[in-house]
Amino acid sequence: MGLVVPIPVVAKRDLIRYKAPLIKAGTPGNIVGITGGSTYAVAFLPSKHSLVVTLGYLTDTDVQEV
């Protein structure tokens, strides 16, 4: 198994997913996987309280590399 390096990103827009907390535009996160040809799984850190929200099937319209 190779080394996995998270890629830092920010949310480009508010992201709303069923049963997940709202991820506001500008929230930092890391790409933690690829869920399809050009979609990503991203772990966001929306608060300072150790909460991590992972959303799948995000595209370039949802996140921007920093």
CATH code (residue 37):
2.30.30
Q: What is the mean pLDDT of residues 49-53?
A: 75
Whether 23 is covered by a domain: the verdict is yes
State how far the Cα of 52 lies from the Cα of 43, in Å rounded to an integer.
6
* 19 assigned to some structural domain: yes
Q: How confident is the model at residue 49 (pLDDT cuts 50, 70, 90)?
A: low
Rounded CA gap, 15 and 23, in Å?
Answer: 5
Note whether residue 1 is domain-resident: no
Total of domains in the chain: 1
Q: What is the pTM of this model?
A: 0.80
Structural domain containing residue 12: 7-65
Q: Is residue 33 part of a domain?
A: yes
Asked, for residue 37, whether it belongs to a domain, the answer is: yes
Return all residues near 14 (Cβ < 8 A) that are at least 6 apart.
22, 23, 24, 25
Let me know if residue 2 belongs to a domain. no
Residue 14 banded pLDDT, cuts 50, 70, 90: very high
In a domain, 48, yes or no: yes
